[in-house]
């Protein structure tokens, strides 16, 4: 299965284009490094065109998708109709009606939604967030593959299971291994976006990273970097090599809490790098961890608002999973509804955002993937790390994603289709 649908390029205006999906038109960015023409059939990921589709391939692929495309849209539409707002207190009812009609919420209104807690109240909150997701994104849900290529890390973050001070088996994939896994993901499984993730491991210098990125970019995919705090010059080199997206979470908007949780680093430096990446042209994914000790509702809202201020294309946040061998091993876990509530409120505060269902949320609750997609989330990742390494990438205990790549793809496909979602992964319809 291809995790994207080919589209026809209908118009070009400098570095933007208009794509047609069975009569629906979407705006995308065109990579200046590539040569596209009106009439080309292309794949897009993250709102960027990543490759052309040959004439021999496109008609068979579109014939397969055409009927399914409209059937999925109809199924998704049914899921967002007939919302019953009467189960809410009057103040929350007014706030959700405002959000549902596209008006921007204030901080106080968002804090009021943080107080919703009964099953009936939360059910309505999730339904409204799902309706807003549908209004903005239709039934598009992006699906990326992730390759965790090293569990070495020079940092000692208090929440992380691969912190440098923890004793565990360590591994590094060679550049050749990483490239081979990526090639398999593209040729065998049809992925169009790959996340390359590791601890902060300086063994992978600019030369190694340049080789990896440049080679994978030639496969016709969106190359997504998740390699932590590096010099801006390194990220600039990797952008020139073909990387177009970066996942870099700031974890908490509280500078003092950040300094405690991430010794020898600062929140200011993290945010400065994120802003530089944005200026370079990277698609940005960022966000935070929920559930740090002494965290209040205002802290959570500050996290959401800081993420929004960075203008990311994707929000990535999930619960703290207390992990052996870390200073926060004794922390109390968040509940599934506490995380889903934040997903829903984030959707109402930033209607255009892509919101990722993180592995941490799946680890917290096996049924959370479906629930999150029905509470405003619209993005997923499938772990493509080989089994020999996957258990050692122990960023937290009892991590989800135990399935093989093939089985995980089948599971995700069944889930998306049951919800009426399609992997178009594009910005809002025109």
**pLDDT band at residue 98 using 50, 70 and 90 as cut-offs:** very high
377 and 238 in a single domain? The answer is yes
40 and 176 in a single domain? The answer is no
Q: What pLDDT shows up at residue 59?
A: 85
241 and 326 in a single domain? The answer is yes
**Residue pLDDT, tens place only, 149-207:** 999 999 999 999 999 999 999 999 999 999 999 999 999 988 999 999 999 999 999 99
Q: Which token pair is 405?
A: 């790549």
Pairing of strands 48-52, 314-315: unpaired
Candidate from 203-212, 233-242, 366-375 with smallest mean pLDDT: 366-375
CA-based torsion, 268, 198, 412, 391: positive or negative: negative
pTM metric for this prediction: 0.93
43 and 148 in a single domain? The answer is no
Q: pLDDT exceeding 90 applies to what percent of the chain?
A: 73
Q: What pLDDT shows up at residue 2?
A: 41
Domain membership of residue 227 (yes or no) is yes
233 and 142 in a single domain? The answer is yes
226 and 299 in a single domain? The answer is yes
Average pLDDT, the chain: 92
379: nearest Cα among 406, 353, 344, 418: 353
Q: What pLDDT shows up at residue 402?
A: 83
Domain membership of residue 255 (yes or no) is yes
Domain membership of residue 142 (yes or no) is yes
> Which residues are 291's β-sheet partners?
none
Domain membership of residue 17 (yes or no) is yes
What's the rounded mean pLDDT across residues 8-19? 92
68 and 176 in a single domain? The answer is no
Using the predicted structure, report yes or no on whether residue 428 has a pLDDT greater than 60.
Answer: no
> How many angstroms separate the CA atoms of 427 and 24, rounded?
12
Q: Is 142 in contact with 381 (CB distance < 8 Å)? A: no
Q: Measured in whole angstroms, how far is the alpha carbon of residue 366 from the centre of its chain?
A: 18
**pLDDT band at residue 25 using 50, 70 and 90 as cut-offs:** confident
What's the rounded mean pLDDT across residues 12-41? 87
Q: What is the CATH number of the domain that holds 177?
A: 3.20.20.70
Beta carbons within 8 Å of 265's beta carbon, 6+ residues apart: 155, 229, 258, 259
User: Quick check: helix, strand or coil at residue 341?
Assistant: helix
> How many angstroms separate the CA atoms of 232 and 172, rounded?
23
Domain membership of residue 351 (yes or no) is yes
**Residue pLDDT, tens place only, 31-65:** 866 789 999 999 988 888 998 988 788 888 888 88
Q: What pLDDT shows up at residue 245?
A: 97
Using the predicted structure, report yes or no on whether residue 419 has a pLDDT greater than 90.
Answer: yes
Q: Measured in whole angstroms, how far is the alpha carbon of residue 264 from the centre of its chain?
A: 27
Q: What is the CATH number of the domain that holds 30?
A: 2.30.30.140
What's the rounded mean pLDDT across residues 257-269? 96
CA-based torsion, 64, 65, 69, 75: positive or negative: positive
CA end-to-end span of the chain, whole Å? 27
Q: What pLDDT shows up at residue 1?
A: 30
Q: What pLDDT shows up at residue 87?
A: 72
Q: What pLDDT shows up at residue 384?
A: 95
52 and 171 in a single domain? The answer is no
Domain membership of residue 106 (yes or no) is no
Domain boundary among 30, 63, 78: 78
Domain boundary among 78, 93, 126: 78
Domain boundary among 50, 78, 106: 78
Domain membership of residue 427 (yes or no) is no
| Segment 218-221 long-range contacts (CB within 8 Å, at least 24 positions apart) | 218/242, 219/182, 219/183, 219/186, 220/43, 220/50, 220/51, 220/52, 220/186, 220/192, 221/45, 221/50, 221/51, 221/182, 221/186, 221/191, 221/192, 221/193, 221/194
312: nearest Cα among 278, 281, 341, 267: 278
Could you give the strand order of the β-sheet that contains 314-315, starting from the edge strand earlier in sequence? 354-355, 314-315, 283-286, 243-247, 222-226, 193-198, 142-150, 379-383
What's the rounded mean pLDDT across residues 105-113? 96
Q: Total domain count for the chain?
A: 2
Candidate from 46-50, 100-104, 179-183, 280-284 with smallest mean pLDDT: 46-50
Candidate from 237-251, 302-316, 363-377 with smallest mean pLDDT: 363-377
152 and 72 in a single domain? The answer is no
What's the rounded mean pLDDT across residues 259-283? 97
Using the predicted structure, report yes or no on whether residue 117 has a pLDDT greater than 70.
Answer: yes
Q: What pLDDT shows up at residue 258?
A: 98
31 and 141 in a single domain? The answer is no
- Domain interval for residue 28: 7-78
> Which residues are 196's β-sheet partners?
147, 225
Q: Which token pair is 163?
A: 């912190």
**Residue pLDDT, tens place only, 332-376:** 999 999 999 999 999 999 999 999 999 999 999 888 999 999 999
Domain membership of residue 87 (yes or no) is no
281 and 214 in a single domain? The answer is yes
Cα–Cα distance list, 163 to 8, 363, 402 (Å): 46, 19, 22
290 and 363 in a single domain? The answer is yes
Using the predicted structure, report yes or no on whether residue 238 has a pLDDT greater than 50.
Answer: yes
Q: Which helix (H) or strand (E) holds 161?
A: none
Q: Where is pLDDT greater, at 26 or 276?
A: 276
Q: Is 154 in contact with 164 (CB distance < 8 Å)? A: yes
């Amino acid at each position: 299965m291809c995790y994207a649908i080919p589209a026809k390029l209908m118009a070009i205006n400098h570095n933007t284009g208009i794509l047609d999906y069975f009569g629906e038109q979407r705006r995308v960015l065109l990579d200046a490094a590539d040569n596209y023409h009106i009439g080309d059939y292309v794949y897009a990921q993250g709102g960027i065109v990543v490759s052309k589709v040959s004439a021999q391939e496109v008609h068979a692929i579109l014939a397969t998708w055409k009927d399914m495309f409209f059937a999925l849209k109809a199924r998704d539409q049914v899921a967002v109709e007939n919302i019953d707002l009467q189960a809410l207190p009057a103040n929350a009812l007014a706030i959700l009606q405002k959000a549902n009609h596209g008006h921007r919420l204030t901080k106080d209104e968002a804090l009021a939604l943080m107080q919703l807690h009964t099953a009936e109240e939360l059910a309505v909150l999730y339904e409204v967030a799902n309706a807003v997701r549908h209004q903005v994104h239709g039934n598009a849900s992006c699906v990326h593959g992730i390759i965790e290529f090293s569990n070495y890390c020079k940092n000692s973050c208090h929440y992380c299971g691969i912190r440098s001070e923890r004793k565990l088996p360590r591994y590094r994939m060679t550049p050749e291994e990483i490239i081979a896994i990526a090639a398999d993901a593209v040729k065998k499984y049809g992925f169009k976006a790959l996340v390359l993730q590791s601890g902060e491991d300086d063994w992978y210098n600019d030369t190694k990273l340049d080789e990896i990125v440049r080679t994978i970019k030639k496969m016709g995919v969106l190359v997504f970097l998740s390699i932590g705090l590096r010099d801006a010059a390194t990220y600039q080199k990797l952008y020139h090599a073909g990387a177009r997206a970066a996942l870099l979470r700031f974890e908490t908007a509280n500078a003092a809490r950040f300094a405690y949780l991430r010794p020898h680093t600062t929140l200011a430096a993290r945010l400065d790098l994120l802003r530089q990446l944005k200026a370079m042209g990277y698609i940005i994914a960022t966000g935070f961890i929920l559930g740090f000790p002494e965290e209040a509702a205002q802290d959570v809202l500050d996290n959401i608002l800081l993420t929004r201020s960075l203008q990311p294309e994707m929000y990535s946040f999930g619960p703290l999973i207390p992990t052996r061998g870390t200073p926060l091993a004794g922390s109390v876990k968040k509940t599934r509804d506490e995380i889903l509530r934040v997903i829903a409120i984030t959707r109402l505060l930033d209607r255009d955002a892509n919101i990722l269902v993180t592995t941490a949320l799946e680890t917290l609750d096996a049924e959370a993937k479906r629930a999150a997609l029905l509470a405003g989330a619209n993005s997923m990742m499938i772990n493509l790390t080989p089994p020999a390494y996957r258990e050692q990438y122990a960023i937290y205990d009892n991590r989800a994603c135990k399935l093989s790549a093939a089985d995980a793809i089948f599971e995700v496909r069944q889930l998306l289709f049951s919800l009426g979602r399609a992997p178009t992964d594009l910005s809002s319809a025109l």
